[in-house]
Amino acid sequence: LSNAAPPDAKMIPLLEGSGPDDQGYIHESLCELRFRVHPSAFFQVNTAACCVLYKLVAGWVAEPDSPSGGAGQPSGIKTLLLDVCCGTGTIGLTMANSVNKVIGVDIVESAIADARH
């Protein structure tokens, strides 16, 4: 896992496992949820900005009887959130309480395992 960082920033090496259930991952928090992240999985690095954005979008797509208020959809409409290239599932999982169903799709097997974790 890497991001732009000063040259003297402390780096934490991870062991790369041979499959999605092997050790070699970290845990990150985003919008009061905890995510498991393997080195090959995508995860947003600016969690504070992502949380603000995800909560805004969740309000737009919310079901009328959802915990987030449901201003976005007329009564009787069932919302399916298709999270394409979902990585560890941050978008789908943070919006799961606002929609009727979430389907996450990604080609990285360990990312799907992380999202299901």
Residue 48 CA to residue 26 CA, distance in Å, equals 18
Tokens representing 107?
């080609």
The answer to whether residues 115 and 96 touch, using CB atoms and an 8 Å cutoff, is no
21 marked as binding residue:
no
* Residues in contact with 26: Cβ distance below 8 Å, sequence separation at least 6, in sequence order: 1, 12, 14, 36, 37
23 marked as binding residue:
no
Extract the annotated binding site for S-adenosyl-L-methionine: 44, 106
Extract the annotated binding site: 44, 106
